[in-house]
Structure 1
């Protein structure tokens, strides 16, 4: 609307304003509905339309705090405010930016206007809401949530009747009003396109705010991605669909001994052998994931390191074509260590778990404890069931390797042709049935820890040759492969055989025997330490009673004597099985006696006819019973009875008198 037309129309606004102020009447033909409703709100708020000075202004401290809070909004809006200012330059217009509460945050324009037109609440910190200064473009725009132009006498307060203001709310991405942009100038200089320019500038601010929000999220996502890449304890390499490396994280750089400038922009085949590279790229080009498989990376020094790798293609959504590839990997030995922990490849027992007070067992423990603190190869010698694995675990747990894997292999429990692959692993295609990607052996799984080779006397001769080389070089080569893998493993071997004799028979290599026999430790048989049998009996009865939910009321001496008198060819393992059987068969709250022993143990312990099932007896009672039974069996022939009993005839006569048994010889 041209300025002259506005001046003419403004007379009608003044007439309507005077009528409303004096009589409270709305002249609808002269005033717009949106202005009429605003006047009514202003009146309800108690705003004085004739007041020439309305001061609602923030203190300097309050303004600084509010300005700081809206700083991102202000920074976004300021370039557009200056552009708008240039358009209306030299026309006496002021460009303002307020927050959502109506406080002016920025004001640019002609500072002489207030001197000419009086206090207009237009500068920083002033409030221009409707409830403060009545109808005005900014305050009314905040109320109705839409752009508006307020012309001359449409303002509720008389001091603004020479001004025309245009304002447009600015909304965030959630459509919430964050502030208002406005221009204010003299009535005679207003232009019909002024409101359109303000609306366009406000919309531009909104778009920029949304873009900044998106860019901030993208920037934050990039920072998070970078932080994750650099902090994870896995190697991470990103390439394009041709295999050119675009990014590589700190772990991968350190692991491969590379700097970013060494590898960025190069093809990944620079750090992969050709066989692995070709296999991976074939699958990736088909859009398939290459998951948890073993490949070898090449370091800067040319060394090959086995890694467990997952390769994931990045697909373009619309075409499903491969756009890039992400490689994640861990060193195989780290994965093996984790697997060992999960599946229980660790030692549970210590020297405190080895029972017994006999001289032989204490000496064996003493030697084993000394050996534990060295890295010497140990050879455990002893019959089956004497606790060789218990000693091996205790040695590992006493050693500096205690936090690393303890791996067990019974060389006599697997087919002879598989012993080598179990120990040293194999590569893909090494033999019929070999797992794709190959498989690590026990030595690789035990890296940093201890490997316990039980029944080593049953190890095939060809495997003995490879084992000797590993002990000497601390390196293994998988069956069918060429890569040399360094291993740091402490070897504990065990056997029930006489290895010297096996060497003489040609069943065991002499050089391997001497390599293993650096620190021999003999685990004593149970019959050589019978004073420990009672300890084992009490321990296993308590253990199995608890597991079976039974209560053993007591144990008679006859039960202990029966256990002690037995020869125990199966050693502690057999004793454990016997006690488990007894506890399993006995009634709850029962007392264990000689009668509860297995029949094969009874017959091997006592002469025929002697019954110890009736409870505890003294030696004299046993002797008396033996004399009675023997004399009766030989029909009273005392000379023969004495011979059978292993005593002299005169001694027999004396004992018969002692026990009052003269009747038995009659």
Structure 2
């Protein structure tokens, strides 16, 4: 659409004003030779395009010059027009509508009869001056409408940007009345619709926000610690960021962004942790044992039931925990891990449940959210759960039952929605008998037990894993290791791998660091593996006897009860 067509209403009003003032027919044509406005004899042609009869308009557009044609039917400038020699015009004035670098159209003053000819001819200079003024007025209107259009487009773009931001955005005037709120803000506040919130005071939404103090502050740009506040509104906590808006050094209002406190914590944890999502497709292993565990993982992923991953050290329990989270409905929420054996007994409660400021000596002066708060909406992975101190077990059980936590040093309960996945390499049933683990907590955590098989029970995967680690570490170290020597196959397949996949991974990394050729040789394998040989009596036994031997060894290690049989399976 041309500039004149976008300003059609203004153009038509000005055309009528010109015709009324001069008693002359008026046409205003745009750069595509379309009659945008017509007043007079040819009004029925409004909106129609000029063809052969429009080349004088085209000449004015191309040159940016004003010119006059008397006796159009005989004038040499009219040669080529379909009406040349039989023109109904008596006289025409063409005046370009232009700015400094742009012509947007042409105004024509047309005399169809002797009376109009006399008016136009006898007052020519005054009429030309007047039409110039009108042309400038039209151009000004065009620029005004163009600026308005650009402003509206920019406003729409900004609204699209603002509505795509994850934070709520509120703008106010200098008296604290809300003038704008984005869609995310409406959703986060829950109780308000846009119609209800515009025009009300900001302090009605955030009562704890010291709005007057912010307005009266002398600083134009508030320091970070001053613009990030924890406030309480409708029992929901928000992190608020405020910036002042000035025009000609006069305060016009503020722009406030806000985020739900728990969401902000979870987002920050996800950003800092930099976790890479893991699916079952990323787990290396095609053996029947591993395939069954993968299938089980996919079946239970979308449930909210607690899961206990049981397996020896190095079998990849955390990898499966991450895969469960990835395939769950919580995949877009945080996956938070805590190793129960890595935290001192005195700190485990504050790590899990968080603490308020001043809760104990050395505590962060602002307090700190616990792992449950950070994982809210997502998954919490409790690794080495057997190491959880006995005095902490009833507190964890209460959280699982009540679905709420209380920070250390606080009486306020915080609702949480977290799926728990725990992991152990111990026999917890034996620990229960010894009084080291609570039976009620065990049953709460062990709703869905999944046993991760040790590497020696899925030997079909050993060479597959070996090649995967060779490829991985070769790329990391910039090496060109193509594989392993043939004689290594038997050694790697027969070795019992007490450290499981982690031990195999470390062995390959060790070998690639030392290997100078293209294939890993036995001389560059760790000594504990290189010197391994199975007991002679085992070698001489049948396959069935070997299987029975390994089953008994596993049961002796894990126990002959139900949980031990699961671990030994």
In 1, Cα distance between equivalents of 2:155 and 2:254: 17
Gapped regions of structure 2 (runs ≥ 5): 43-47, 77-84, 475-480, 541-569
Alignment check: 8 A CA contact 1:340 1:445 kept: no
SS at match of 1:243: coil
In 2, Cα distance between equivalents of 1:414 and 1:179: 82
SS at match of 2:199: coil
Q: Tell me the equivalent position of 1:250.
A: 183
Q: Tell me the equivalent position of 2:200.
A: 266
In 2, Cα distance between equivalents of 1:375 and 1:293: 35
Q: Tell me the equivalent position of 1:470.
A: 399
In 2, Cα distance between equivalents of 1:399 and 1:520: 17
Aligned pairs (5 A) from 1:592-611? 598=527, 602=531
Q: Tell me the equivalent position of 2:15.
A: 81
In 2, Cα distance between equivalents of 1:557 and 1:107: 93
SS at match of 1:322: strand
SS at match of 1:236: strand
Change (3 A) 1:480 1:164: farther
Equivalent of residue 417 in structure 2, options 474, 485, 488: 488
Quick check: 1:180 aligned with 2:114? no
Change (3 A) 1:106 1:230: same
In 2, Cα distance between equivalents of 1:472 and 1:414: 24
In 1, Cα distance between equivalents of 2:148 and 2:532: 90
Task: Report how many aligned residue pairs link the two structures.
Answer: 508
In 2, Cα distance between equivalents of 1:577 and 1:444: 35
Alignment check: 8 A CA contact 1:474 1:486 kept: yes
Aligned pairs (5 A) from 1:538-549? 538-546=463-471, 547-548=473-474, 549=481
Aligned pairs (5 A) from 1:184-203? 184=111, 185-187=116-118, 190-191=122-123, 193-203=126-136
How far does residue 412 in structure 1 lie from its aligned partner after superposition?
Answer: 1.9
Q: Tell me the equivalent position of 1:424.
A: 353
Aligned pairs (5 A) from 1:146-165? none
Q: Tell me the equivalent position of 1:340.
A: 270
How far does residue 243 in structure 1 lie from its aligned partner after superposition?
Answer: 2.9
| CA offsets 1:521-567 (integer angstroms, 9 cap, x no match) | 555667xxx554x5465345434444341542212687369735xxx
In 2, Cα distance between equivalents of 1:373 and 1:454: 21
Change (3 A) 1:238 1:481: farther
Alignment check: 8 A CA contact 1:150 1:164 kept: yes
| CA offsets 1:139-162 (integer angstroms, 9 cap, x no match) | 997797455678999x958999x9
In 1, Cα distance between equivalents of 2:490 and 2:52: 104
Alignment check: 8 A CA contact 1:540 1:580 kept: no
Give the root-mean-square deviation of aligned CA atoms. 5.2
| CA offsets 1:32-51 (integer angstroms, 9 cap, x no match) | xxxxxxxxxxxxxxxxxxxx
Alignment check: 8 A CA contact 1:171 1:178 kept: yes
Q: Give the TM-score of the pair, scaled to structure 1.
A: 0.60
Alignment check: 8 A CA contact 1:183 1:198 kept: no
In 2, Cα distance between equivalents of 1:406 and 1:537: 29
Q: Tell me the equivalent position of 2:244.
A: 313
Q: Give the TM-score of the pair, scaled to structure 2.
A: 0.68
Quick check: 1:169 aligned with 2:96? yes
Equivalent of residue 495 in structure 2, options 563, 567, 577: 563
